[in-house]
Amino acid sequence: MKIGIFSDIHSNSEAINSVLKNIKEVDKFICLGDIVGYGADPNYCIEKIKDLNCRCIGGNHDFAVVGKVNINYFNYAARTAILWTSNQLKKENFNFLLNLKKKFELEDSVLAVHGSPQNPLLEYILDKDTASLIFNKFDFKIYFVGHSHLAGCFSFNKNTNQIDYINFSNGGCIEINKNKRYIINCGSVGQPRDGNPKASYGIYDQKNEIVNIYRVSYPINLTQDKIFNAGLPRNLAYRLSYGR
């Protein structure tokens, strides 16, 4: 089984469509949250996820839009987009976000969560100390996470206790080793922040125990025009050009 992994689409229809055009030979899809927020196409992106029959968890933006996370956790631009999104959503799409879970087990030893297993909505795994706490506190073999918008992988070597980090901002391949455990972020589809403006996604090949991370270009100028036309904070559009 090959599983396409999306996260942090952030209402960017051009990015998700370019990813779907590029992605091949996938049996099913999962989405690690933040379907909405920042961008101008929230209904379209939710409906795309529904059409794909994509198993999905909620992110902090998804839950803030439906009132399940306090918007004071967010900066001005994010808050503005959350309130705008809340007003745009069709009732059925609002209810779709409302009913999302915070995490699920993809298989026995593989957890899917937006932020981290100890704080699914709000914690960022950005350094080896945080990764170490998670490897010690929980015993999954692989964690697929989103939230930071940084494509990369922490690995924990069970024999040496060493933790390593590999940046995958230009894509790459992770061969799952039986002596290691992993926290894998396949990056953000709709608002990358790792310096590469291309949309990011992953494919988990369960049979061959490989995770590939890919980057795909998309028509950023169209996404930016929609953000300007919606009256959303302009910086949400500008930053897409830089992937920051």
Q: Which is nearer to Fe ion, 34 or 194 (CB)?
A: 34
Q: Which is nearer to Fe ion, 116 or 155 (CB)?
A: 116
Judged by CB under 5 A, which stretch of 2-10, 95-103, 150-158, 201-209 contacts Fe ion? 2-10
Enter the DSSP assignment of 57: B
Q: Which is nearer to Fe ion, 2 or 102 (CB)?
A: 102
Q: Which is nearer to Fe ion, 33 or 117 (CB)?
A: 33
Going by C-alpha positions, the residue among 238, 244, 237 that lies closest to residue 38 is: 237
Smallest distance from Fe ion to CB 34, Å: 4
Could you say which of 34, 62, 123, 194 contacts Fe ion (CB under 5 A)? 34
Q: Does 194 bind Fe ion (CB under 5 A)?
A: no
Judged by CB under 5 A, which stretch of 4-12, 77-85, 116-124, 163-171 contacts Fe ion? 4-12
The residue count for binding Fe ion (CB under 5 A) is 2
Q: Does 8 bind Fe ion (CB under 5 A)?
A: yes
Determine the Cα–Cα distance for residues 117 and 109; give it in Å rounded to an integer.
13
Smallest distance from Fe ion to CB 162, Å: 29
Burial class of 55 by CB neighbour count within 10 A (0 to 12, 13 to 18, 19+): middle
Q: Which is nearer to Fe ion, 191 or 224 (CB)?
A: 191
CA–CA distances in Å: residue 229 to residues 39, 41, 52, 221, 234: 11, 12, 28, 12, 10
Q: Does 123 bind Fe ion (CB under 5 A)?
A: no
Residues 6 or more apart whose CB falls under 8 angstroms from that of 99 comprise none
Which tokens in the block code for residue 27? 């049996």
Sign of CA dihedral 185, 191, 193, 199: positive
Going by C-alpha positions, the residue among 98, 13, 112, 95 that lies closest to residue 55 is: 112
Q: Which is nearer to Fe ion, 137 or 195 (CB)?
A: 195
Q: Are 145 and 123 in contact (CB under 8 A)?
A: no
Smallest distance from Fe ion to CB 8, Å: 4
Scan residues 154-193 and list those touching Fe ion (CB under 5 A).
none
Catalog residues that contact Fe ion under the rule CB under 5 A.
Answer: 8, 34
